[in-house]
């Protein structure tokens, strides 16, 4: 299928997967997300020059949740370089995103930056570097998306904070190994704000553009080296959808990162970035309709890394 414009392919995907929105369940362990309408569906594709195509609810803001972990990782790599990899691994965990079991065996070093434990380490380092990790993330997302209204949903952050015992346990446990250095309560506040960012498919497809441009930001400046951009994409491919990463790679064949708000971003290096949203999740926390739509995209266009 020609890809001079992505609009026809997006329209076709929306028709092809029309039975999928409504399937799955919203994340209910964060009460503020439990009432999300699983029938909603949106998808956007951003080309390297910032041209965006979309279908369905592609301009509707949703809770980005773990998708933000890609951006905090990139910010820490840009500020701190390879030091990060002494504090967090880059292997798939094979466990759920909020699992505690590997941490003790592995001396408080999380398997990868996308499980919650690893993301807490990344946010801790961003907090040390910037003094306001969530604020640094928001500034970056605003600049890359061109959306100055993009911000946190404080109600979602408060809701997660009130039910955040598992993330608190992870953070305190890692602090006992010296792998978290900021006071845990403040760090958790930063992390919950980070996860509460509201953004649309269009915003996120644009904001992830640096990953398709080999590290180059929307204004032409460099965030990451080409090699670092490759590394972030590789960790997305192997770890971005947690214990479903193998299945996601098999079906979609692109680096991708999901969030329990129902969003998924994906990257075609050198070509475009995608974001899809539909709040119904499968049992591993990935959007049912989102994975189906990305699967259709790579099947119809042949645009995959394989
Ligand atoms: O920390 C949490 O559990 C949530 N704020 C984010 C988890 C998430 O999005 C996992 N993604 N599929």
- Integer angstrom CA distances of residue 94 from 54, 99, 244: 33, 10, 8
Active site residue 177: no
3-state secondary structure 118-169: HHHHHHHHHHHHHCCHHHHHHHHHHHHHCCCCCEECHHHHHHHHHCCHHHHH
Active-site residue, from 66, 93, 99, 258: 66
Over residues 70-90, mean pLDDT:
97
Q: What is the pTM of this model?
A: 0.97
- Whether 53 is a known active-site residue: answer no
pLDDT at 300 over 90: yes
For the stretch 122-158, pLDDT in tens is 999 999 999 999 999 999 999 999 999 999 999 999 9
Helix (H, G, I), strand (E, B), or coil: what is residue 211?
helix
Strand order of the β-sheet with 256-258 is: 52-56, 42-47, 272-277, 263-268, 256-258
pLDDT, average across residues 40-52: 98
Residue from 55, 69, 99, 258 carrying the catalytic annotation: 69
Cβ of 231 closer than 6 Å to ligand 1, yes or no, is no
Does the beta carbon of 116 sit less than 6 angstroms from any atom of ligand 1? yes
Average model confidence (pLDDT) for the chain? 96
Could you please report the per-residue DSSP string of 216-239?
B-TTS-BSS-HHHHHHHHHHHHHH
Q: Is 67 close to ligand 1, i.e. is its CB under 6 Å away? A: no
Q: Which of 206, 195, 204 is nearest to 290 (CA)?
A: 204
Query: What is the structure's pLDDT at 2?
Result: 41
Whether 258 is a known active-site residue: answer no
**What H or E segment, with its residue span, contains residue 198?**
strand 197-199
pLDDT of residue 279: 98
Residue 289 above 50 pLDDT?
yes
8 A C-beta contact, residue 38 and residue 278? yes
Question: Region 42-53: what's the mean pLDDT?
Answer: 98
Establish whether 260 is a catalytic residue: yes
Which single residue is written with the structure tokens 């990899």? Answer: 85
CA-nearest residue, atom 1 of ligand 1:
116
Instruction: Say whether pLDDT at 88 is over 50.
Output: yes
Reply yes or no on whether the pLDDT at 1 is more than 50.
no
What percent of the chain stands above pLDDT 70?
99
- Cα separation, 144 vs 48, in Å, equals 12
């Amino acid at each position: 299928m020609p890809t001079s414009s992505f609009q026809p392919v997006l329209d076709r995907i929306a028709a092809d997967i029309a039975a999928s929105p409504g399937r799955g369940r919203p994340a209910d362990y964060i009460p503020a997300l439990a009432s999300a309408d699983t029938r909603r569906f949106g998808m956007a594709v951003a080309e390297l020059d910032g041209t965006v195509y979309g279908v369905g609810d592609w301009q509707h803001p949703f809770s980005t949740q773990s998708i933000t972990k890609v951006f905090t990782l990139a910010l820490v790599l840009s500020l701190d370089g390879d030091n990060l990899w002494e504090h967090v691994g880059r292997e798939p965990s094979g466990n759920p995103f909020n699992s505690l079991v590997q941490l003790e065996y592995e001396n408080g070093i999380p398997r990868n930056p996308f499980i919650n434990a690893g993301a807490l380490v990344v946010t801790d380092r961003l907090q040390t570097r910037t003094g306001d990790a969530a604020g640094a993330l928001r500034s970056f997302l605003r600049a890359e998306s061109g959306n100055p209204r993009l911000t946190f949903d404080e109600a979602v952050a408060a809701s997660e904070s009130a039910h955040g015992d598992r993330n608190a346990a992870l953070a305190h446990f890692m602090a006992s190994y010296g792998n978290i250095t900021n006071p845990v309560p403040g760090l958790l506040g930063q992390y919950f704000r980070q996860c509460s960012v509201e953004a649309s498919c269009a915003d996120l497809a644009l904001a992830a553009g640096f990953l398709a441009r080999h590290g180059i930001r929307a204004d032409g400046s460099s965030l990451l080296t080409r090699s670092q951009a490759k590394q972030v994409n590789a960790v997305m491919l192997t770890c971005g959808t947690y214990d479903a990463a193998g299945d996601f790679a098999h079906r979609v064949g692109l680096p991708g990162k999901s969030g329990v708000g129902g969003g998924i971003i994906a990257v075609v290096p050198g070509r475009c970035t995608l974001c899809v949203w539909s709040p119904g999740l499968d049992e591993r926390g990935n959007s049912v309709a989102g994975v189906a739509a990305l699967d259709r995209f790579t099947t119809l266009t042949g645009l995959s890394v394989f």
